[in-house]
Structures are given as C-alpha cells and as structure tokens.
Amino acid sequence: MTNILLIYTGGTIGMVKEYDSGILKAFNFNKLLKHIPELNQLDCHIDSISFEHPIDSSNMNPTHWIEIANIIEEHYESHDGFVVLHGSDTMSYTASALSFMLENLAKPVIFTGSQLPIGDLRTDAKENLITSIQIAALRTGGKPVVREVGLYFEYKLYRANRTTKINAEHFQAFASLNYPQLIESGVHLTVFKEYLLKVHPRKKFKVHKIMDRNVAILKLFPGLAAVVLESILNIPNLRGLILETYGAGNAPNEPWLVDILRKGISQGIHIVNVTQCSGGSVQMGHYETSEQLKNLQVINGKDITTEAAMAKLMYLLGSNISESLFKTVFETPLRGEMQ
C-alpha cells in the first residue's frame, strides 16, 4: 500500500460547525476517519499532521511555506505522496511557491481545500479530499503518475503554479487559463499524460528554504501618478517588482514612467512584466506601448500568473542568482510555470 501524508495548515476544509453556537472550529485530524469514514475504502495508508496553530490562509506567509516544505522533506522517504489542506484564498500563492522550493520533486504534492466546511451537509470538502488522496496514491509501473505540485478543486487537477482563484462563492473556485488540466475526475480518473511535468528521476530531491520577501506588486491603472510608482521603487531594500500591465504587456508610453522604471532598474531592482488579464501572454514589442519596456530590458513574464511570478521572484532572489543571469533565468521555465 502507498503511504500518503495529509498536511493540514488551516482553512475551511478542516472546519466543523458546533451545532449549539454555529461557530466554525478546526477539528482534530487524528479523528479524521470519524468525519470521513469513506477514507477506509481507499487503497492506501493515510497519516496526518497538522500545524500546531492552524491558520486562515489570509495569514499565510513565506515562513509557513518553509514549514510545509520542512514537513515534506522530513517525510519524503517514508511517504509516497502528500496532500496539503489549505485555505483557498492564498492557495495558488503557496502551491506556486512550493513548486519552486521543491526542486527535483519526484512524488505528488497535491493542494486542496473547500468552499464549505467538511461537516456541512452540502460540502465540497469530502470529494476534494478523497480525490486528492486518490491522485496522490495513483501509480503506474510502480511509479507515481503525478510528480509535481498540483492543485485539485471541483473535479480537476491543475499544475499548481498555473492556477489562480477566480470565484469566492462557486465550488469551481480555481482556473488554469493558460495550461490544460492534468487530471479530470468523473466516473474514472482521466489522466492527460501529455500535460504532466516531465521529471529527471536521477536528480536528487532538494528543498530551498530562502524566500526573499523584498518584493512588491503594482497593478497599472488609468491615472496612475508618477509619485506612486516612484514611492514604490524607493521602498528601502526593494529587490523586485511585479508590474501588472494591460493586455499583452502594454503600459503608458509617458516619458516620466519610462524614466522612473529606468532609474529603478539601474538601482538593481528586477521588474517583471505580467499581464493583468486572467489569460493570455505578455508579448513585449508587439505594440508600441510595450516597446519601451522591451528596450528597458524589463523581464518578460510571458504567460505566467501573478501568483507564480511572485513566488518565482522570491525564490530566485533567495537563490542569489547573479544580476547578469537573473533576467534569463526568470524567463526560462523551471517547473512548467510558463511557456
């Protein structure tokens, strides 16, 4: 039997409602089978571990990402797959970060959560959890089918660093608009093998634990004042900025904007161009309004999500990539996060 480790960080999926007060509280994961007896029918052994103090995902930060990475590292040899239960609000950020932190991953790490508590009558938690465990335990020829960080929600497994949360109320809370789903759950689990990440099994698993938090995000909008951009780029110790631009990577071609960006880049700040559209890709130079960004050597985020761009920026800044190589490395797919 495969050994699966369930890691509970917090979030709605691990909550039960007290009938007398109606208050949601985290349940004891040592009593998991009491709440979900269906897990007894799965053909795998399930262990569980919980954060000492489960948190709302709005409070998630890189310190918690490292805690998750440490748990996976400690149990990597003893377990065949991992399921991380996480609040949906920042799940794409955390899952994207883990995809970079877990280098040469050869086992499944599946993130999931729910929109309703596990004890709710209409909950989506049970299906998400049960199927995530099944996917983590899925093997062919004695090897795991999935060997990357995935995110499972509402019948679909996506590459985690391709996802974004698109809805706060629907069960279909996540989408991967620039990359196809990896697995679809129906009567059977349909695996789209051609989209799974290809791994190099001989390379040693390595966990990176330094994520540089000296980064920021700025979403362009009509009427952006020069003082706003200037203030952000003058933040003490700022090392990287995600610039969410219009459409295919376009920005106003106002001289002041170009001058401020040029100054920021000359001070060693890495500026990444990502589109604020839900889907599609940055194509710098395609329009006149992105030509100046290309000339400034702004980093091309291509079709990366904002969540993955932020995680990748923190990861690369923490990896001490040389200034001369940084742009090239960022523009290179490392974990299937861009094309």
CA distance 158 to 151: 5
Percent of the chain with pLDDT over 70: 96
The residue with greater pLDDT, 254 or 32, is 254
Domains of the chain, CATH where assigned: 2-207 (3.40.50.1170), 215-330 (3.40.50.40)
Among residues 21, 79, 26, 77, the alpha carbon closest in space to that of 50 is found at 26
User: At 19, is the pLDDT very low, low, confident or very high (cuts 50, 70, 90)?
Assistant: low
Q: Tens digit of pLDDT for each residue in 142-185?
A: 999 999 999 999 999 999 999 999 999 899 899 999 999 999 99
User: At 31, is the pLDDT very low, low, confident or very high (cuts 50, 70, 90)?
Assistant: low
- Please state at what angle helix 91-101 crosses helix 62-75, rounded to 10 degrees: 50
- Weakest-pLDDT range from 95-99, 170-174, 222-226: 170-174
Cα four-point dihedral sign 7, 11, 14, 18? positive
| DSSP designation for 185 | E
- The pLDDT assigned to 201 comes to 77
- Weakest-pLDDT range from 24-38, 110-124, 239-253, 276-290: 24-38
- The pLDDT assigned to 11 comes to 86
Tell whether the model's pLDDT for residue 259 goes beyond 90: yes
pTM above 0.85, yes or no: yes
- The pLDDT assigned to 115 comes to 86
User: At 298, is the pLDDT very low, low, confident or very high (cuts 50, 70, 90)?
Assistant: very high
CA distance 289 to 303: 18
Instruction: Confirm if 226 and 260 have CB atoms less than 8 A apart.
Output: yes
Backbone Cα Rg of the chain: 21
- The pLDDT assigned to 30 comes to 67
Residue 12 catalytic? yes
User: At 32, is the pLDDT very low, low, confident or very high (cuts 50, 70, 90)?
Assistant: low
> Annotated catalytic residue: which of 9, 12, 112, 123?
12
The residue with greater pLDDT, 202 or 314, is 314
Tell whether the model's pLDDT for residue 23 goes beyond 80: no
User: Average pLDDT, whole number, for the chain?
Assistant: 93
Tell whether the model's pLDDT for residue 262 goes beyond 90: yes
- The pLDDT assigned to 281 comes to 96
